[in-house]
Structure 1
């Protein structure tokens, strides 16, 4: 439809709907009044939907179009297990979600696009609203557990935000039995009084079968597992080794002493390091796999990579952004093989300043494939056997440690925030069952690589910012002042303070706070609350700075095998190096990069959620063998319905207030305390306690504890 015609129809519709002489009308009535022919009514519907999206008109509870007031908004509904929900308003990414009471959801389901009316704000309380209409259903399939009745079945969704069981007519059960994990296609979304209805399109396996739990998460989150045929055909045409034609015209760095440093299990090695020192200047080379040489723009491989956005690292498998022939083969910087790279070669002084740099297309050949464990043994443990094994590389590792310390100190001085939460390392047996869970600690070797990747990412971002060329940046916005003020009030309870400006806080204040709490009982608690007070990082086409790193310039340049934004900016960098970024190509990139940034941010969220869900599943499965046993942990969260306790192995469980029978406990929201009404017993964040594992629920992905007593003081 022509834009001018569309706008004219919008104006006419607005006049009719806002005319006081007309009552609210349904679509058919409106079509008749405007004398719209039947073959043009689809176009009219598009205009109506557009006006709703703009907040100009609304659909009331009876499906009639009417004028809105200023409090009508459109957004995405997020459900909860307890019936209520939240709506993220479109165009208000930085604002708090709107709370929707259970009585006001109008049958909206998780991820639905809805129109809501926002209630009048009450001082000190979060905004509330009511769903007026459901504009778009965004979940067409879901994964759940099948339960059979005599004449029908129903499916309990794995996604706890989907709070309705799905009715399955007998003819659509596909032979599923109790306990089967199934993929359901929704055929009817139900209403406030009627359950959604669907049909089973795939039986994944029984809930207790090995691997079914992880496959269920993959399907639930819509993660692609197979590459399309046209992608694999393109891959087949790519050689196993680098050709002489590809090497032509590149800077040859094969004579430099070069290493990769990764985890033992890593197969996609996309960064290599060279380092030397001349006088007072360190010469650091960060060499990144030139994936863009093989994944050309707009090819089937490129389209699939953008759709995936990122590789997803689940506990027992990787869902790669690129097929293995690329990610583990020709693109992986495997030792002893010529490989194409995009290199950022930096000259860094003894204060950590990059005093010169060059970005170039190169060819490299890695001397040794190192692991974090080996490098740690050399530089931290001074292991004689390891030092002898890699004696020709030891001087470079010592130089790496020296430079990394300088870079980290420079970042510390400017206020960079370093959250050092231990990640979970989950050990599985051959059937995918967890045999051990322990914290995965960072060491000097992992920090060296982090430091070198950070300086390369900053250097590349600053270079292209000043060239004023289209680019994709990694942005971390300043936190909301209201959340920071709440954090400030809370830390006062522990005797800590921080300076807050009139309308912002400097990251250095948060950094100072983390340094003050280092090693204290309240460290984990305050660190978490500090992290929660900050915004999520995302990809943008504007260089808006990175709050957490306290830097104006930041991008993702170092992982094109597993992240699409890195691959995208490699193309821009190479085209610029070759002198091809003329006005036509600049306009091209300006037209596509916003969508690349948006899609990449969405894909990253999906991957993060999937990784968290699988981790939760495995932790629940692991703890199910310890029911009835006691452990010492730390109170990691306090809420109005209970408190969370984290064990030393990173597993977290909940103690429900309803199960604390020794007293009636009152929740103090401001101080994150639970106080016994009669005994005056207090439980607070960061406190060491002893718990008993009561039960686990793999379906809900929860672990329930009961309180035994405080650490070193078991209570009867």
Structure 2
């Protein structure tokens, strides 16, 4: 590294000399007295300087000091040909016009020449975004493409599922693996093409025919490169893990098997990673949140751990779950199954009647769940449903105590400004062939709220303790929203008659909480809640504690789901080593070294899982609406752009009314008010407005639904 930095300095000094004339690498080697065997190193140094934006190379291969500001970033393509480059550390992306894309592929790492900044305002108040042109492609991230295979007489081609990959992939027939029209395939890119020539590839996998059940979802899984099979060494490792807790593993643990303990989950859940105990004495609640001790079985740097770290999260799609850990663990020894001894890591809290934590301990425990409950069963007990109360009569007082404490904790959390997003998410029901039967909202009830409140309390308690211990840790952070997004939200809700106050460039979470309280029970509740959520930044994992805006919490982490989230598993390891006094300087250095990469990978893969889930939902919604072409629906305008407006139906399905289909006038996008205004009639369509639409087209390939105004 020192040698490379030294060479960089020598080269920059040479090129900065006023007498320097741009020259090729051979001439530079002679001037710098570089031996023939060291020319490879010289090339590496020159490429690093180019990537750093300090020098440039002409089409004739001559090197000189960069005359333009150059930046390196990740290119995001748009299906219309233009794109954006995201540069780490810069808040605003660089807009890349189609003419300046220079054959870059979606998600390439590229070198961008920053164009002179245009000081003019495009609406009288707002400056145009930064622009650039791609001058070099540094590396390609995408090496395989999932898409639909089409065959002609002498060759084939793949139409990519990802609309951001704007060119078809040319496939020589000898590289087609015998694929036929209609096959969904995985194509490995062998040549990324150039201006006037398409990328070329070879088929490496035939997923199945486009009309075969499950192929549509599997294509999305493949497109996101989500691993579905566990490697051989992982399967070999789990063979040695018993299905029961060994006697020697019980030693040294707090034995609470005699505490009345329940799990409360969805009816279909199989990976039960949290259990609850609760009692009350002299006005003080003792709440135990007991989490499966997955780290006892998934040890650091074992094959299981390496695979779990790579996956980072379980992925929940409409027709399947792709687990982070093999089922033998997630549904077996790590699942807190009724009547089985299980190892847990527990956060046991003493809480007063105002919701304040008096004391707590984080301890390794041995538990045995007395009853596996569903949210519906607990709700039925709490509302006094006769059959449920009779069946679970020994647990009635426990559930009532839970509800009592949950109400206290929730009131306290809302008092400080935590935002409550209780809009209905959709549940898509499929038949055995993967076809949509119905799309319905998920039901949230008092039992789901109880578990949510208890998990949040445990997560905050653990995060605060480790923050003050100043030990390496993994935090779950949620930054304040962007001003522009909040301004757009304010405009949107104003169309419904609601308002939010902003103090300069900032907004307090209490303002958003008040907004959601004011829309509760109204017809627009689901839409406004969803748009408010979209207006906020995504939460992420980092080794630094930055606070959680949405929860209005100073300290927050994910401690409660180590079966399905790697950050929780990593936290458990740190906690257990601390409990056993092993967090010495060596271990602290170790965690300080690995946690930045681990947290970054977890955030990236969480986003990948979310995007895959959203894509499968969009796909099934398009499929569902195909049978409603020609029918009319009432909806609400959820987004307005220069090319049209999106309308959301009560069942959460969203479609586009394109301006080209608004035939009664020529409509112009008014950006300050986020509305479409008729040039002649002055008729206006704005965010939040109710409209009647008719379904005219659906496209499974692009996952889009087209409406026209009815």
TM-score, reference length from structure 1: 0.95
- Runs (5+) with no aligned partner, structure 2: none
Structure 1 residues 448 and 59, CA, compared in 2 at 3 Å: closer, same or farther?
farther
**Contact (CA 8 Å) 1:59, 1:133: kept in 2 or not?**
no
Structure 1 residues 356 and 81, CA, compared in 2 at 3 Å: closer, same or farther?
same
Q: Which residue of 1 aligns with 2:429?
A: 427
Pairing 1:103–2:99 present? yes
Cα distance in 2 for partners of 1:658, 1:606 equals 34
Q: Which residue of 2 aligns with 1:75?
A: 73
Q: Which residue of 2 aligns with 1:116?
A: 112
Cα distance in 2 for partners of 1:691, 1:135 equals 46
Cα distance in 1 for partners of 2:310, 2:40 equals 29
Q: Which residue of 1 aligns with 2:389?
A: 387
Q: Shift in Å at residue 639 of structure 1? A: 1.3
Deviations along 1:326-365, one digit per CA (max 9) or x if unpaired, are 0000000011100000000011111111111000000111
**Contact (CA 8 Å) 1:182, 1:204: kept in 2 or not?**
yes
Deviations along 1:380-436, one digit per CA (max 9) or x if unpaired, are x43111111111111111111111111111111111112223212010111111111
Structure 1 residues 369 and 62, CA, compared in 2 at 3 Å: closer, same or farther?
farther
Pairing 1:90–2:88 present? yes
Cα distance in 2 for partners of 1:204, 1:16 equals 55
Cα distance in 1 for partners of 2:422, 2:43 equals 52
Q: Shift in Å at residue 519 of structure 1? A: 4.2
Cα distance in 1 for partners of 2:541, 2:362 equals 22
Q: Which residue of 1 aligns with 2:568?
A: 566
For residues 328-339 of structure 1, the aligned pairs below 5 Å read 328-339=331-342
Cα distance in 1 for partners of 2:696, 2:26 equals 58
Structure 1 residues 420 and 199, CA, compared in 2 at 3 Å: closer, same or farther?
same
Q: Which residue of 1 aligns with 2:271?
A: 268
Pairing 1:223–2:221 present? no
Structure 1 residues 289 and 625, CA, compared in 2 at 3 Å: closer, same or farther?
same
Structure 1 residues 59 and 426, CA, compared in 2 at 3 Å: closer, same or farther?
farther
**Contact (CA 8 Å) 1:476, 1:536: kept in 2 or not?**
yes
- Runs (5+) with no aligned partner, structure 1: 709-716
Q: Which residue of 2 aligns with 1:641?
A: 643
Structure 1 residues 62 and 101, CA, compared in 2 at 3 Å: closer, same or farther?
farther
Cα distance in 2 for partners of 1:105, 1:187 equals 20
Q: Which residue of 2 aligns with 1:712?
A: none
The alignment partner of 1:421 has SS state of coil
The alignment partner of 1:217 has SS state of helix
**Contact (CA 8 Å) 2:293, 2:344: kept in 1 or not?**
yes
Pairing 1:688–2:684 present? no
Q: Which residue of 1 aligns with 2:188?
A: 185
Structure 1 residues 24 and 628, CA, compared in 2 at 3 Å: closer, same or farther?
farther
The alignment partner of 2:503 has SS state of coil
Structure 1 residues 500 and 90, CA, compared in 2 at 3 Å: closer, same or farther?
same
For residues 193-342 of structure 1, the aligned pairs below 5 Å read 193-342=196-345
Segment drifting more, 621-630 vs 27-36: 27-36
Q: Shift in Å at residue 102 of structure 1? A: 0.9
Pairing 1:541–2:543 present? yes
**Contact (CA 8 Å) 2:691, 2:709: kept in 1 or not?**
yes
Cα distance in 1 for partners of 2:30, 2:140 equals 27
Match of 1:449 among 436, 451, 459: 451
Q: Shift in Å at residue 113 of structure 1? A: 0.2
Q: Which residue of 1 aligns with 2:658?
A: 656
Q: Which residue of 2 aligns with 1:127?
A: 130
**Contact (CA 8 Å) 2:262, 2:371: kept in 1 or not?**
yes
Cα distance in 1 for partners of 2:253, 2:701 equals 54
Deviations along 1:610-667, one digit per CA (max 9) or x if unpaired, are 1111111111111112212222222221111111122222211111111122222222
Q: Shift in Å at residue 118 of structure 1? A: 2.2
Cα distance in 1 for partners of 2:364, 2:409 equals 25
Q: Shift in Å at residue 165 of structure 1? A: 0.9
**Contact (CA 8 Å) 1:242, 1:330: kept in 2 or not?**
yes
Report the count of equivalent residues: 703
**Contact (CA 8 Å) 2:496, 2:688: kept in 1 or not?**
no
Cα distance in 2 for partners of 1:61, 1:392 equals 81
The alignment partner of 1:650 has SS state of coil
**Contact (CA 8 Å) 1:269, 1:328: kept in 2 or not?**
yes
Deviations along 1:222-243, one digit per CA (max 9) or x if unpaired, are 1111111111111000001011
Q: Which residue of 2 aligns with 1:407?
A: 409
Q: Shift in Å at residue 19 of structure 1? A: 3.5
Q: Which residue of 1 aligns with 2:2?
A: 4
Match of 1:348 among 347, 351, 358: 351
Q: Shift in Å at residue 255 of structure 1? A: 0.6
Q: Which residue of 2 aligns with 1:44?
A: 42
Segment drifting more, 58-67 vs 313-322: 58-67
TM-score, reference length from structure 2: 0.95
Cα distance in 2 for partners of 1:464, 1:620 equals 46
Match of 1:364 among 360, 363, 367: 367
Q: Shift in Å at residue 503 of structure 1? A: 4.9
For residues 501-580 of structure 1, the aligned pairs below 5 Å read 501-520=503-522, 523-524=525-526, 526-580=528-582
Q: Shift in Å at residue 91 of structure 1? A: 2.7
**Contact (CA 8 Å) 2:289, 2:458: kept in 1 or not?**
yes
Structure 1 residues 521 and 57, CA, compared in 2 at 3 Å: closer, same or farther?
farther
RMSD: 1.9
**Contact (CA 8 Å) 2:52, 2:70: kept in 1 or not?**
no
Deviations along 1:239-265, one digit per CA (max 9) or x if unpaired, are 010111111110001111111111111
**Contact (CA 8 Å) 2:495, 2:686: kept in 1 or not?**
no
